[in-house]
């Protein structure tokens, strides 16, 4: 297949947010097919089909809050003016990883001036267990402590520093027990938060016996701290008649609402949760923001005062969960060309002390253990191990990276064993178009662009030539060795829990022609509100600046799903589009009556409403419609089509579509110290028809760098007592600007989504994260070229780990 011209090139992070629409060939893909008009019973085409240039979507533009953020005028929860009488809470954290809790003594803390109360389990008016789906996590530690840092209660004081000082004066009487700290210990003890899961296709054992070659290996990949710039925070205000207003830095206001109501023994409608924006989330605020809101609400209920709870960075590290660390064991069979014949794979997921989201995370790791490759005879065993550590949770990719990493490692090792180029082995194993196109969980891959995308990137990046150049360099360089790798990604888009694939939105058109949109998604810097505003502007044919996206609020859009699974725009953007379309249909019917034309002949473009007989300003039409009692607001609802999934067998179609991409990374290592540097990165990524290319490229760049950190420098270290030693920026190293390679080139694949998605776009939040696996594979390539043993490397590939692999 010939690849079309690339849509947009950004080199060295020079995206111009003021640039016009992307240039180059863009195939039309499947156009949107909206349902019948609720007013006229007929179809109106979306903006991109109505002739003319869409004024908002498809254009690079600034994030809607960018100027306010740069000026320090964007409000985060800690910036909200505090109500008179606001008290401040601090958590009381267990100093022991596992033990029997006999008593908590807060007398020394309560004697400190300014301290108001100790809040513990006996102060909970409702259920003392959090309303998580597994119902296995206490609000406050009771009877036992299960990890070092577990919260046993709160100290509430007049100011935050007094509360924090006092919290450290609370003493714990604990009979210590031996903690389980590794997945291998947990697996040996059959200590699991959820039952093991097995997925197979064909006969892996028989295929392995028939295979001309075999490899067997084991390795581990570490977790990752979310390190959001804005830490976990909640601010709870009592209202009249036992109602509550909760400001929460959360990706899931609806769940926070439910958790708080559950803990306070109230109906959901008594609790309103608002989130204007987060200072980063990355999955760490999907469930675990709920803990802070519940704790603060219990304190506010007990003291009848507003209560704010904001974790400092050290406590945030010690209390909250991370990306799930994984351990693997595998056997793979293959032929002389590198084609996989059979695979047995065991995955041990470190879930921490409770289930949280570990079930679906581990499931998605299974779903993505194939990545871009057809697995004919495969058996996967997934164990969800219970350890005495923080309860690990969602993180960008949600188990996908832990699945993708293992198959990429296997293919690289196969290539080395056969003396082949790893890219050729990858191409040999790709999913096909007419055959070899069904996943191991029985979903047909219908939108496969892997082969042309990968080959285009190999050509534009000069992959083949660079391999030769690197081999020549390494032959002449005794100490510094380079490595190169190209790895792809195929990432499924949708919540695997089908019920979450729904969204609602409200669009209000005011009499001056300005528009407000509210939806169930949350803004965490990813540009969701910017994209939704552009979609609404397009539907109404008005400038982007006329649309305002407002704070997520459970009193406006109820029962909203988490902003997660990369589906924020897919779900909320489509719901907002439908809501705007309803209003537009009302206006079209009104204008059609004025001009004596069909409603389908009324066009909304460039801030005007146009028929063959008249041209009116949008705001004039709105004002006249109001005077004629025409409805100027509407709701919109969307549910993702086609998906179905049997969670007992892990089969079906859990994903609406796949996002694709590939990256080429070049690295250098110092064989004397193990230090490494990423020299060059070339990315070709599939975002469909981009709603905002500048924002999408920012997501690709940010996701890649975050993934690079996971695999190189971000090492979580627990000591033998279960204490997280890397609990601050001084000991936990996230990538900095100096780690970004000088050559960092991003191209967007120019084809629209083949499924009927909003604007022909594709999700972009998570898939680019996995492109950073190319960095790890390039490091392993460099180790191999230095005569080391890349099969011995774990991740993250810190300097110590690289040096160990060089000297095994």
Closest CA to 359 of 223, 197, 129: 197
DSSP, collapsed to helix, strand or coil, labels residue 668 as strand
DSSP, collapsed to helix, strand or coil, labels residue 604 as strand
Look-up: residue for tokens 């700290």? 181
3-class SS letters over 153-206: EEEEECCHHHHHHHHCCCEEEEEECCCCCCHHHHHHHCCEEEEEEEEEECCHHH
Alpha carbon separation from 573 to 73, 508, 530 (Å, rounded): 26, 15, 10
Judge whether 133 and 361 are in contact, CB under 8 Å: no
Judge whether 509 and 583 are in contact, CB under 8 Å: yes
Closest CA to 790 of 801, 799, 800, 798: 801
Local structure of residue 737 (DSSP, 8 states): G
CA 647 to chain centre: 21
CB atoms within 10 A of CB 448: 20
DSSP, collapsed to helix, strand or coil, labels residue 553 as strand
- What is the distance between the alpha carbons of residues 689 and 698, in angstroms, rounded to a whole number? 16
Closest CA to 369 of 650, 646, 566: 650
Alpha carbon separation from 632 to 150, 179, 600, 611 (Å, rounded): 50, 61, 19, 20
- What is the distance between the alpha carbons of residues 468 and 480, in angstroms, rounded to a whole number? 16
Alpha carbon separation from 174 to 101, 142, 281 (Å, rounded): 5, 11, 34
Tell me the catalytic residues.
766
DSSP, collapsed to helix, strand or coil, labels residue 476 as helix
CA angle (494, 395, 745) in 5-degree steps: 85
Q: How would you label 370-406 residue by residue, b for 16+ Cβ within 10 Å and e otherwise?
A: bbbbbbbbbbbbbbbbbbbbbbbbbbbbbbbbbbbbb
- What is the distance between the alpha carbons of residues 119 and 114, in angstroms, rounded to a whole number? 15
The residues, ordered by sequence, that sit 6+ positions from 58 with a Cβ below 8 Å of its Cβ are 21, 22, 48, 689, 690, 691, 692, 693, 759
Bridge partner list, 343: 332, 378
CA quadruple 380, 383, 389, 395: dihedral sign: positive
CB atoms within 10 A of CB 113: 8
């Amino acid at each position: 297949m010939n690849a079309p011209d690339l849509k947009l090139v950004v080199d060295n992070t020079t995206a111009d947010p003021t640039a016009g629409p992307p240039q180059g060939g863009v195939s039309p893909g499947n156009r949107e097919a909206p349902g019948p008009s609720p007013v006229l019973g007929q179809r109106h085409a979306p903006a991109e089909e109505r002739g003319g240039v869409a004024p908002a979507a498809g254009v690079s533009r600034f994030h809607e809050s960018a100027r306010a953020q740069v000026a320090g005028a964007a409000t985060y929860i800690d910036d909200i003016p505090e109500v008179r009488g606001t008290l401040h809470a601090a958590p009381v954290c267990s100093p022991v990883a596992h033990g029997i809790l006999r008593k908590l003594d807060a007398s020394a803390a309560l004697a400190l001036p300014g301290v108001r109360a100790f809040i513990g389990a006996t102060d909970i008016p409702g259920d003392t267990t959090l309303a998580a789906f597994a119902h296995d996590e206490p609000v406050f530690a009771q009877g036992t402590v299960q990890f070092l840092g577990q919260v046993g209660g709160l100290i509430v004081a007049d100011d935050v520093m007094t509360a924090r000082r006092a919290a450290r004066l609370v003493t714990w009487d604990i009979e210590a027990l031996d903690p389980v700290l590794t997945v291998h210990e947990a697996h040996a003890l059959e200590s699991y938060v959820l039952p093991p899961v097995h997925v197979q296709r064909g006969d892996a054992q028989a295929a392995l016996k028939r295979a001309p070659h075999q490899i067997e290996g084991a390795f581990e990949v570490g977790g990752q701290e979310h390190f959001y710039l804005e830490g976990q925070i909640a601010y709870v205000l009592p209202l009249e008649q036992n109602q509550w207003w909760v400001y929460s830095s959360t990706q899931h206001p609806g769940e926070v609402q439910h958790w708080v109501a559950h803990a306070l023994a109230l109906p959901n409608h008594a609790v309103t949760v608002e989130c204007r924006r987060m200072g980063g989330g990355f999955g760490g605020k999907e469930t675990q923001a709920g803990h802070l809101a519940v704790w603060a609400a219990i304190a506010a209920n007990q003291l009848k005062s507003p209560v704010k709870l904001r974790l400092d960075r050290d406590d945030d590290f010690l209390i909250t969960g991370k990306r799930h660390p994984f351990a693997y064991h595998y056997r793979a069979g293959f032929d002389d060309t590198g084609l996989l014949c059979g695979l047995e794979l065991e995955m041990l997921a470190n879930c921490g002390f409770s289930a949280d989201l570990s079930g679906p995370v581990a499931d998605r790791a299974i779903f993505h253990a194939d990545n871009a490759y057809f697995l004919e005879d495969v058996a996967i065993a997934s164990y969800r191990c219970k350890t005495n550590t923080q309860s690990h949770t969602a993180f960008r990719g949600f188990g996908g990276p832990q699945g993708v990493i293992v198959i990429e490692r296997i293919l690289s090792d196969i290539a080395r064993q056969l003396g082949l180029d790893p890219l050729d082995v990858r191409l040999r194993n790709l999913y096909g178009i007419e055959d070899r196109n069904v996943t191991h969980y029985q979903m047909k891959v219908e939108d496969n662009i892997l082969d042309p995308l990968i080959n285009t990137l190999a050509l534009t990046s000069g992959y083949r030539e660079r391999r030769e150049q690197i081999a020549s360099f390494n032959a002449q360089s005794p100490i510094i060795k380079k490595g190169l790798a190209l790895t792809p990604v195929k990432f499924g888009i949708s919540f695997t829990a089908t019920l979450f694939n729904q969204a609602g939105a409200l669009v209000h058109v005011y009499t001056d022609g300005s528009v407000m949109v509210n939806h169930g998604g949350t803004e965490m810097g990813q540009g969701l509100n910017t994209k939704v505003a552009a979609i609404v502007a397009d539907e109404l044919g008005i400038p982007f600046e006329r649309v305002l996206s407002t704070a997520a609020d459970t009193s406006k859009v109820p029962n909203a799903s988490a902003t997660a699974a990369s589906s924020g725009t897919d779900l909320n953007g489509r719901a907002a589009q439908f809501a705007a379309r309803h209003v537009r249909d009302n206006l079209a019917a009104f204008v059609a009556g004025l001009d004596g034309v069909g409603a389908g002949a009324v066009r909304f473009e460039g801030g005007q409403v146009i028929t063959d007989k008249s041209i009116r300003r949008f705001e004039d039409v709105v004002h006249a419609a109001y005077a004629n009692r025409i409805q100027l607001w509407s709701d919109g609802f969307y549910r993702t089509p086609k998906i179905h999934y049997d969670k007992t067998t892990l089969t079906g179609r859990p994903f609406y579509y796949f996002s694709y991409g590939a990256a080429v990374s070049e690295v250098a290592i110092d064989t004397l110290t193990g230090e490494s540097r990423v020299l060059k990165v070339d990315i070709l990524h599939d975002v469909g028809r981009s709603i905002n290319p500048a924002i999408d490229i920012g997501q690709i760049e940010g996701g890649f760098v975050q993934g690079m950190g996971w695999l190189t420098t971000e090492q979580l270290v627990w000591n033998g007592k279960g204490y997280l030693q890397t609990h601050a920026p001084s000991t936990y190293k996230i990538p900095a600007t100096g780690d970004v390679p000088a050559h960092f080139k991003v191209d967007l694949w120019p084809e629209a989504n083949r499924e009927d998605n909003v604007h022909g776009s594709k999700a972009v939040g998570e898939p680019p994260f996995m492109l950073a696996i190319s960095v790890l594979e390039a490091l392993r390539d460099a180790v191999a070229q230095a005569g080391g043993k890349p099969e011995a490397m774990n991740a993250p590939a810190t300097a110590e780990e690289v040096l160990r692999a060089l000297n095994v």
